[in-house]
Chain A
């Protein structure tokens, strides 16, 4: 190593890094290297005569290693930009958004214009006319993340808030709280100690809509990949239920069962039917730990609607042989079985809440909480001290707002639910239920809201932080239309890259990336609504994220941008309280439990801190107390609820979230009328080589991975996987460019003909970071970038559960003959 090379640390969504810096350039990005691994106080698990110890090293997601490529991307915005035909004093030409070119302007001009427009709009309409939209996870760091600087800024000026839908785990959010509680965690469980539980006791894992090698327990790098190799080493069989033979299934799966999308609940009901008929469920547990089983049993047995939910019945719906369903049910019941599930595509479809409820209830029938019997992603649940034992603020904790003297409160009570943003602009008023993330109570899901609310203005100014929605939301041509509305007088984008939505701005403020600024954060730690998420890592690593290089071009840190704006708006002193970036980070450091073990200077110097595994570590496996003593479930009955009390309070039995879970045929599935016109079911899971849209298009090293993009005729195309039979019927060959379309839009993709997808279903990842319409700015223009969410339905999961359901999507595909 050359002497002038500096070694620093950083972190992002995919894990912690060691950076090598030379001559003002980052020359190397590695998984964070522990200087003295032997000194790390780690854990080990003894199971079935073997000892399992995690390697004393970190692992990262592939996109993290592509950081250098992303940093220098051609998509980087290097100067402030103004839309060429935007004239704030004359014609604003909003209809040209998304089409026009941009011209570079000075920071002075850009900031003056943004500030004066914010003041003008606020004075003219009131603060509710300002709308601020932020992306999930376009950055990492407690100081810079959106709950910190961005939220502080907009709470000072006041804004109509954007309420996020839980886009990655919809079904669990809308179903889980009414079945097993955990509403404080938005419907999912914390998975405590389930790694050890599985290694010691589990005999079989049934992964249902679960691809942990691709989704990596959210932010856990690839820490859990080795756990699944341990499971294999112990001879624990793994069955995968998924219309797509996913990445984990295709290397570790002992059996692949491929139901049609939208039919998972029918499959689950038939499993329950088999257990009831053969009396292979835990009747004592059902009696003592659950409520409402008998009513549900009547439905299963057909005493309610005359249709017994037999494997034969399910076969007709799922296209999985009845004998396979029976064999699965028998294997599951006769072995100590872990359900491998957490989030997953089946929860992102019509009535996804019914599937999530069924997952919980199936395991309840097998004694959920019994050793080896639980619901476990296989990507969380390492033995880690919890937030309450060793506190480090996570990204949802509030950043500087937890250390500031004054915490601003948004004066505007009006909000817009993210999925309804286009309708809010184009066809108000709009009405919906819930605040989005319902973490205070299950009842929050039934509160009703409208926009605009009395006393508030409609929105007229948009500030866009990041720019992912065309790639990540549903029926996203709606965003294209909304951005062009003359009602929206001014659009600001603040982002490092040209993202799918960035082109719709009037002014672009170039922010720098993670790697060009300082921050502090624990790897994979969310806190707030997802406490203890760091148990997706083998070691708790807190990182001092050190600026690896000066911000590229004229780009600035988000803090610098918000300071410059707050100065023009007259609240700089209140915003900063006189603190520099470094001073805020130091204050945040003193909020952590780490401050009792190391000094800020030492932490800065070393760049990271590993939380020592406590010698007196107390193991409290998830729901073991509930299994043994009936303690720890926060439903109204304190039990797992087949018949949901919270739904009973607010819904009628006829509604789409019935009192106990039922199979409801998808409103856009294989039994729909629409299937005659659009016969293929599209599933679009979270991507393997991207995190939302924020990595994809900006890193050619990712585009070179054939599972991610494929180079043909000078363009990196987004792949769509299709079964050979479906391809043959359409005259499509492997690597042909194809048009995927329905009434909502059209996307050009590259066909991958593969046996890994079941017939009748096609698979293309959501979250393309490239939106490349043939006719820029025109709604419904054919996209070449790969944004398949242009095709997905905007219809909500069910009538009163406003979750998105992109996996209920019918399309047709044809070979594309254009462009030759």
Chain B
């Protein structure tokens, strides 16, 4: 029995929404009993994309999070108290029975990922099935995976060490979304964004970009430090900062007065230019 899982590499996603649309194409107007009744024309996102804009002009980065049902393996909140209306197959796919779940609105509210939607026509909660009906008839991957132009989404058997998904898990850092590791979700993410601090260093007198300046970021709470050098545009960037922590930024370049500032880090930040003054 395969153990199905999905891995989503956010660094390969360009936010094209093919996965979201392919999912709608599969389920809108199509019944796949006993797993799913048809999805309404609009308003449901069994594969949903969340967009996050990070940083400020002129350094902005977009991250897209494709979020289907995470198919939690450890005490899925939707299964709890559902009296069997939500069940897990032997291959790990979590399903909502369209018959047994009728009028059970509490299932809708149980999901911490917001992956369940209420069908106003049938009065049932609905969500991603990993396209179980297709897997049953021999398909190798769900529609969202097939439609992804960059193979940002991989699907396969986690128990098969030769599967693409197993290889990816071995070779990269894959994590549960929103640190919900305790739910043991079957959907894992690569490249979950880390908070950044970025900015530009300028040589004031020459009005030139300060190339090769040494930039140090010291975390005053946990005592750790990071170091980098500015590029040809005088730009530097640090990743993996902790919101709520207090940092000291130090800029050094031979022949110039060192520059220091304190930063109360709140989230992704593009700092204003820092001007270095000649010694």
**What is A's interface to B at a CB cutoff of 8 Å?**
1, 27-31, 33, 55, 59-62, 65-69, 213, 221-223, 225-226, 229, 245, 247-248, 250-251, 255-258, 321-324, 326-328, 330-331, 689, 700-707, 723, 754-756, 758-759
Contact = CB atoms under 8 A, between A and B. Distances in A.
Interface string B28-60: 111000000000011101000001010111111
B15 interface: yes
Contacts of B151: 55, 226
Contacts of B235: 255
Interface residues of B, number: 49
Contacts of A31: 146-147
A57 to B, nearest CB: 8
Nearest to B12: A229
A435 to B, nearest CB: 37
Given A55-B151, A226-B149, A255-B235, A1 B25 contact: no
Nearest to A723: B57
Nearest to A63: B21
Given A327-B234, A701-B21, A251 B149 contact: no
Interface stretch (B88-96, B114-122, B202-210, B249-257): B202-210
A758 B209 CA distance: 21
B157 interface: no
Nearest to A5: B137
Contact of A754 (B13, B53, B147, B209): B53
Contacts of B234: 323, 327
B265 interface: no
A321 B209 CA distance: 10
Contacts of B18: 60, 62, 65, 222
Contact of A258 (B14, B58, B138, B211): B58
A29 B270 CA distance: 42
B58 A758 contact: yes
Given A251-B14, A322-B207, A27 B55 contact: no
A247 B13 CA distance: 11
B183 interface: no
A723 B147 CA distance: 33
A165 to B, nearest CB: 29
A705 B17 contact: yes
A307 B20 CA distance: 54
A30 B26 CA distance: 9
B207 A756 contact: no
Which of B12, B16, B28 has the most A CB atoms < 10 Å from its CB?
A: B16
A324 B146 CA distance: 42
A60 B17 CA distance: 11
Contacts of B158: none
Contacts of A754: 53
A29 B151 CA distance: 19
Contacts of A27: 29-30
A31 B237 CA distance: 39
A256 B151 CA distance: 26
Nearest to A331: B232
Q: Name the residue among A55, A61, A69 with the largest chain B CB count within 10 angstroms.
A: A69
Given A69-B41, A256-B58, A327-B232, A225 B149 contact: yes
A59 B21 contact: no
Given A62-B16, A222-B16, A251-B61, 17 more contacts: A29-B25, A60-B149, A65-B18, A65-B22, A68-B28, A69-B41, A229-B12, A247-B62, A250-B62, A251-B14, A327-B233, A701-B21, A707-B15, A707-B51, A755-B55, A756-B57, A758-B58
B150 interface: yes
A204 to B, nearest CB: 10
A257 B137 contact: no
27 contacts: A1-B138, A30-B22, A59-B149, A61-B16, A65-B21, A65-B147, A67-B25, A226-B150, A229-B12, A247-B62, A248-B14, A250-B53, A250-B60, A251-B14, A255-B235, A257-B58, A258-B57, A323-B208, A326-B208, A327-B232, A327-B233, A328-B233, A689-B17, A704-B43, A704-B45, A754-B53, A755-B55
Given A221-B149, A225-B150, A701-B42, A66 B60 contact: no
A245 B60 contact: yes
Contact of B21 (A66, A221, A327): A66
B251 to A, nearest CB: 16
A27 B137 CA distance: 16
A229 B150 contact: yes
A755 B233 contact: no
A196 B213 CA distance: 35
Contacts of B41: 69, 700
B127 interface: no
Interface string B213-238: 00000000000000000001111000
Contacts of A330: 232
B143 interface: yes
Contact of A222 (B25, B43, B53, B150): B150
Contacts of B57: 258, 723, 755-756, 758-759
Contacts of A705: 17, 20
Interface string B125-150: 00000000000011000010011011
Given A251-B62, A758-B58, A324 B25 contact: no
B48 to A, nearest CB: 10
A201 B22 CA distance: 37
B24 interface: yes
B209 A327 contact: yes
Nearest to A58: B149
Contacts of B17: 62, 689, 705
B6 to A, nearest CB: 18
A321 B275 CA distance: 13
A156 B151 CA distance: 50
A213 B233 contact: no
A55 to B, nearest CB: 7
Nearest to A328: B233
Contacts of B58: 245, 256-258, 758
A31 B30 CA distance: 19
Given A250-B60, A701-B42, A213 B16 contact: yes
Contacts of B59: 256
A692 to B, nearest CB: 19
A463 B192 CA distance: 54
Contacts of B149: 59-60, 221-223, 225-226
A705 B55 CA distance: 22
A816 to B, nearest CB: 24
A818 B207 CA distance: 49
Identify the 7 closest CB pairs spanning chains A and B, nearest first. Answer: A222-B149, A59-B149, A250-B62, A65-B21, A327-B209, A755-B57, A213-B14
Listed residue (B57, B208, B209) with the most chain A CB atoms within 10 angstroms of its CB = B57
Nearest to B56: A755
Residue among B56, B62, B151, B270 with the highest chain A CB neighbour number at 10 A:
B62
A523 B4 CA distance: 34
A701 B16 contact: no
Contacts of A704: 20, 42-43, 45
B233 A62 contact: no
A225 B60 contact: no
A499 B20 CA distance: 26
A255 B51 CA distance: 21
Nearest to A222: B149
B24 A69 contact: yes
A703 B55 CA distance: 27
A176 B220 CA distance: 57
A327 B60 CA distance: 20
B53 A756 contact: yes
A701 to B, nearest CB: 5
Contacts of B137: 1
A490 to B, nearest CB: 37
A714 to B, nearest CB: 12
Contacts of A251: 13-15, 61-63
A326 B57 CA distance: 20
Contacts of A327: 208-209, 211, 232-234
Nearest to A253: B61
